[in-house]
């Protein structure tokens, strides 16, 4: 990663088309050794970015999927207390101080994604997905890792990363993340791509698509996104739609085609009706 | 560079973007790795380190344009320097301006837009600004007026029509979809031209008056500081986008108790049953699930004329909240009260719901002037028995009662049944109890009274809900914007 341009080229080679802002932030993250916090609507390729980064750097991808109720024992580490209990029972005649040293050894440690990323021998890409889903209190778990790349375990001491992991956090912005978390990250907002870039993405990701069809789809999707919808079509849905049209061997989109295939792009009935009213002829939308 | 960056960060802070010390240092560090000639790269680097909220990005962009403006050389065929047009020359051009010049300029704009040639579009835009904006040095304006002058001379409508004709000529007459897309393409081109003109004017202003002073005139309130009472349509649209995260936060705050209880009590039976698998050693204790605490929220909105814009916002907030609370009931009132919960069902379009509330809900009893007393009395009469100790009541209104009886005793009765009662008042605190406002008479019966004129204040209200022993002293509820800024 020598320059933003080379980052962009490498990402493109992995099938991820970055815009200038993305390439620059990724480059900086490598330089400053800081985590990237990626935010944006669902389906604009936030997770894909992390995957592409892993492929590009040849690192292993370790993923922590966040959800409400995620806690230390699922994210960081946990003592395998069943095994510990059995161990204590097995030599109940031995001196306690010996056993105590024994049961808090690494053998009884269950590593979870965060600790695994830290302890890994080879450099890794750590993806912390949908970080906005955990409660604000749980975010604090991440802080030590994000700023110092280390984990403190009371019984074992502090474990520092062998090599700095490349950390990517994603958020759908369903709630505000804490200042402390944001401060430690580089912030990257990925919006829906411009029509031109979306066309490039289609050409890249949908083999066999014609330039004409890709242009048309990209423009149409831009105009659908401008409607007031419950859920605007994401990039992945656009790709799905392009694939559908290709499978139906359609080369030119008209009102009828839109009316018949809109459900691939939009997932709410009210949205489909609204878009159909705008873009499909009455005859097509009633069929 | 360090001085420039420090000034820039000061400006960001003045615009309301919270930039911490650490972030400032990060930005300095980042700049060392960036090719300074690459303006977009620099912008991305500063944006990633300094702005951690997409809502603030626009304000950042404006400041960035001012501080790190392009310094371009003069265009071929144009002898004005970009540093600052001579006042007299441009003045005359602005008023007189040869027609032949205008035509050739329009022609080059037309060609540039049609072929998507950004460089020549920018050059033409620069010429247009030089010729028609008539920038007078030293005037402390934001540039809107200059933009207006330029646009008036350029006559964008005619340009749009020409572009449209040219584009449509290539499109099949019967293909309505293609025609529509073509029209949108043209709109996008025109939009780009307008942006370029505005940018160019701003650059001239910076060259003329210096960064700091231009930045100050261009500074606009952030979304969270917009006054909800006087929000315009575009403001409301922006606000709409921010509301959803906020409602989630509110939902989380109100349901907080549930999470605290989650670990639950030991389920002895289950634990013993499980221990059989490990030879009677209870390795895996089981816990009883705590019964979920289901917050129930009743929202009472004043939708009278004086509250129109604010009511729209409150209802918007309600609409977003309906997705997170299964037990949210909404009532609207002017001089009597009606329930409107049914209009906010799942899958309902917000605009439609508003329309139906305006036409169908029976919020008017006599004359359509606010009457809090009667509204509360009717509310107590019709829905009072349904208020339980789990109910949180939120009232939004300015408490302007048109000198009618306020009946605070009814409110006290309502309060005694509910878990809590909060009042959100969109008027500045200093206006309360002036004229026909009787906020002070209701205040003793509320668990908290908040001045909520901006999203930031609403957020503050939501945050207060989470504090332990929250809202005991009702007076402390209000955030001074400055105080929140420094957080």
Q: Are residues A173 and A208 in the same domain?
A: no
Question: What's the token pair of residue B260?
Answer: 């605290």
Name the more confident of B465 and A202. Answer: A202
Residues β-bridged to residue A160: A150
Contact B284 A82 (CB under 8 A): yes
Q: Which residues of B touch A268 (CB under 8 A)?
A: 347
Contact A220 B281 (CB under 8 A): no
Query: Is the Cβ of B40 closer than 8 Å to some Cβ of chain A?
Result: yes
Q: Which residues of B touch A82 (CB under 8 A)?
A: 278, 283-284
Mutation target to probe the A interface, by most A beta carbons within 10 A, among B12, B32, B45 is B45
Q: What is the mean pLDDT of residues A118-127?
A: 90
Q: Are residues A85 and A202 in the same domain?
A: no
Write the residue in A85, A183, A228 that is nearest to B23 by C-beta.
Answer: A183
Distance CA B77, CA B429 (A): 60
Residue A276's pLDDT is 84
At B255 the three-state DSSP class reads coil
Q: Are residues A10 and A63 in the same domain?
A: yes
Question: What's the token pair of residue B96?
Answer: 């007189």
Of A60, A86, A111, the position where a domain reaches its end is A111
Asked whether the predicted pLDDT for residue A187 surpasses 90, the reply is yes
Residue B28's pLDDT is 92
Q: Are residues A61 and A137 in the same domain?
A: yes
Distance from the A28 Cα atom to the nearest Cα atom in chain B, whole angstroms: 7
Backbone angles phi, psi at B468, to 5 degrees: -65, 140
The sign of the dihedral angle between the CA atoms of B206, B207, B210, B213 is: negative
Splitting chain B (487 residues) into consecutive groups of 10 residues, what average pLDDT does each group show? 88 88 92 86 92 87 82 45 40 48 81 80 82 74 77 80 82 74 83 84 79 75 74 73 71 58 71 80 76 73 78 75 73 86 71 75 74 88 86 86 85 87 87 86 88 82 62 36 34
Distance from the A255 Cα atom to the nearest Cα atom in chain B, whole angstroms: 6
Report the CATH number at residue A125: 3.40.50.300
Q: Are residues A148 and A200 in the same domain?
A: no
Q: How confident is the model at residue A241 (pLDDT cuts 50, 70, 90)?
A: very high
Q: Are residues A226 and A275 in the same domain?
A: yes
Mutation target to probe the A interface, by most A beta carbons within 10 A, among B177, B186, B460 is B177
Contact B34 A222 (CB under 8 A): no
Q: What is the pTM of this model?
A: 0.74
In chain B, the residue whose alpha carbon lies closest to the alpha carbon of A135 is: B252
Q: Quote the domain boundaries for residue A273.
A: 195-286
Average confidence score pLDDT of chain A: 86
Residue B93's pLDDT is 41
Q: Are residues A150 and A215 in the same domain?
A: no
Of A134, A154, A189, the position where a domain reaches its end is A189
Mutation target to probe the B interface, by most B beta carbons within 10 A, among A38, A219, A262, A276 is A219
| Residues 148-187, chain B, touching A (beta carbon < 8 A) | 175-178, 180-181, 184-185
Query: Is the Cβ of B250 closer than 8 Å to some Cβ of chain A?
Result: no
Residue B98's pLDDT is 56
Question: What's the token pair of residue B36?
Answer: 């300074």
Residue B345's pLDDT is 66
Query: Is the Cβ of B467 closer than 8 Å to some Cβ of chain A?
Result: no
Distance CA B326, CA B340 (A): 15
Write the residue in B20, B184, B487 that is nearest to A183 by C-beta.
Answer: B20
Q: Which residues of A touch B53 (CB under 8 A)?
A: 176, 182, 187
Tally of structural domains, chain A = 3
Asked whether the predicted pLDDT for residue A186 surpasses 50, the reply is yes
Q: Which residues of B touch A89 (CB under 8 A)?
A: 281
At B3 the three-state DSSP class reads helix
Residue A26's pLDDT is 93
Residue B84's pLDDT is 40
Closest CA to A26 of A16, B113, B396: A16
Q: Are residues A144 and A208 in the same domain?
A: no
Q: Are residues A60 and A169 in the same domain?
A: yes
Of A134, A166, A189, the position where a domain reaches its end is A189
Write the residue in B20, B30, B51 that is nearest to A32 by C-beta.
Answer: B30
Closest CA to B420 of B398, B395, B403, B402: B395
Q: Are residues A43 and A165 in the same domain?
A: yes
Q: Which residues of B touch A216 (CB under 8 A)?
A: 178, 181
Distance from the A119 Cα atom to the nearest Cα atom in chain B, whole angstroms: 27
Residue A28's pLDDT is 92
Q: What is the DSSP letter of B266?
A: B
Closest CA to B320 of B259, B224, B250: B250
Give exposure, B202-214, as e/b (b: 16+ Cβ within 10 Å): bbbbbbbbebeeb
Distance from the A173 Cα atom to the nearest Cα atom in chain B, whole angstroms: 7
Q: Are residues A236 and A132 in the same domain?
A: no
Q: Mind listing the pLDDT tens digit for each residue in A61-112? A: 999 999 888 888 888 888 888 888 888 888 777 777 777 777 888 888 888 8
Q: Are residues A127 and A49 in the same domain?
A: yes
Q: Which residues of A touch B49 (CB under 8 A)?
A: 28, 186-187
Q: What is the DSSP letter of A215?
A: H
């Amino acid at each position: 990663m020598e320059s933003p341009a080379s980052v962009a080229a490498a990402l493109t080679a992995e099938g991820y088309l970055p815009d200038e802002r993305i390439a620059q932030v990724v480059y900086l993250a490598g330089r400053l050794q800081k985590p990237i916090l990626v935010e944006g609507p669902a389906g604009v390729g936030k997770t894909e970015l992390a995957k592409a980064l892993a492929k590009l750097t040849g690192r292993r991808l370790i993923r922590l999927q966040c959800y409400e109720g995620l806690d230390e024992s699922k994210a960081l580490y946990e003592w395998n207390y069943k095994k510990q209990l059995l161990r204590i029972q097995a030599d109940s005649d031995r001196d306690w101080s010996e056993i105590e040293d024994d049961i808090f050894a690494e053998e009884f440690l269950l590593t979870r994604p965060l600790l695994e990323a830290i302890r890994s021998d080879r450099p890794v890409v750590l993806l912390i997905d949908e970080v906005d889903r955990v409660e604000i209190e749980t975010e604090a778990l991440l802080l030590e890792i994000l700023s110092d790349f280390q984990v403190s375990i009371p019984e074992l001491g502090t474990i520092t990363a062998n090599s700095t992991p490349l950390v990517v956090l994603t958020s759908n912005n369903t709630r505000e993340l804490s200042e402390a978390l944001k401060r430690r990250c580089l912030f990257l907002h990925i919006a829906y791509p411009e029509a031109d870039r979306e066309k490039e993405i289609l050409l890249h990701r949908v083999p066999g698509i014609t330039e004409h069809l890709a242009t048309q789809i990209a423009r149409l999707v831009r105009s659908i996104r401008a409607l007031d919808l419950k859920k605007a079509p994401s990039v992945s849905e656009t790709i799905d739609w392009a694939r559908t049209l290709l499978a139906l061997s359609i080369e030119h989109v008209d009102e009828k085609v839109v009316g018949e295939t809109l459900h691939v792009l939009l997932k709410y009935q009210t949205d489909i009706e609204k878009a159909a009213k705008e873009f499909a002829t009455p005859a097509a939308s009633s069929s | 560079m360090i001085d420039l960056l420090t000034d820039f960060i000061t400006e960001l802070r003045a615009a309301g973007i919270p930039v911490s010390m650490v972030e400032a240092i990060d930005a300095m560090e980042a700049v060392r790795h960036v090719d300074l000639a690459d303006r977009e790269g620099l912008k991305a680097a500063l944006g990633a380190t300094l702005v951690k909220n997409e809502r603030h990005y626009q304000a950042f962009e404006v400041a960035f344009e001012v501080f790190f403006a392009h310094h371009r050389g003069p265009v071929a065929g144009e002898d004005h320097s970009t540093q600052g047009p001579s006042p007299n020359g441009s003045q005359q051009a602005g008023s007189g301006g040869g027609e032949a010049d205008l035509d050739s300029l329009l022609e080059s704009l037309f060609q540039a837009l049609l072929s998507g040639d950004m460089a020549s579009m920018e050059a033409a835009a620069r010429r247009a600004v030089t010729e028609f904006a008539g920038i007078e040095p030293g005037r402390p304006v934001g540039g809107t007026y200059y933009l207006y002058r330029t646009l008036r001379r350029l006559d964008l409508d005619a340009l749009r029509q020409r572009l449209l004709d040219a584009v449509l000529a290539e499109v099949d007459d019967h293909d309505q979809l293609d025609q529509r897309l073509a029209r949108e393409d043209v709109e996008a081109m025109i939009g780009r031209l307008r942006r370029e003109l505005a940018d160019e004017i701003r650059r001239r202003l910076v060259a003329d008056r210096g960064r700091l002073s231009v930045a100050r005139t261009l500074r606009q309130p952030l979304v969270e500081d917009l006054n909800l009472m006087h929000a315009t349509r575009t403001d409301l649209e922006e606000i709409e986008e921010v509301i959803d995260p906020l409602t989630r936060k509110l939902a989380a705050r109100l349901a907080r108790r549930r999470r605290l209880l989650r670990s639950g009590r030991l389920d002895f039976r289950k634990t013993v049953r499980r221990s059989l698998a490990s030879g009677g050693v209870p390795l895996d204790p089981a816990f009883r699930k705590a019964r979920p605490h289901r917050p129930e929220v009743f929202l009472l909105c004043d939708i009278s004329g004086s509250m129109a814009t604010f009511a729209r916002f409150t209802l918007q907030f309600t609409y977003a909240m309906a997705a997170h609370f299964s037990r949210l009931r909404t009532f609207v009132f002017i001089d009597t009260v009606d329930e409107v919960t049914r209009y906010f069902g799942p899958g309902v379009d917000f605009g439609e719901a508003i329309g139906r509330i305006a036409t169908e809900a029976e919020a008017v009893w006599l004359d359509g002037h606010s009457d809090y007393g009667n509204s509360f009395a009717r509310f107590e009469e019709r829905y009072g028995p349904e208020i339980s100790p789990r109910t949180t009541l939120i009232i939004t209104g300015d408490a302007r009662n048109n000198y009618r009886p306020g009946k605070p005793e009814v409110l006290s009765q309502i309060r005694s049944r509910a878990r809590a009662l909060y009042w959100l008042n969109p008027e500045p605190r200093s206006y309360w109890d002036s004229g026909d406002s009787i906020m002070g008479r209701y205040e003793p019966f509320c668990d908290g009274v908040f001045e909520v004129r901006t999203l930031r204040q609403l957020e503050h209200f939501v945050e207060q809900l989470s504090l332990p022993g929250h809202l005991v002293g009702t007076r402390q509820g209000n955030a001074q914007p400055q105080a929140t800024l420094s957080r």
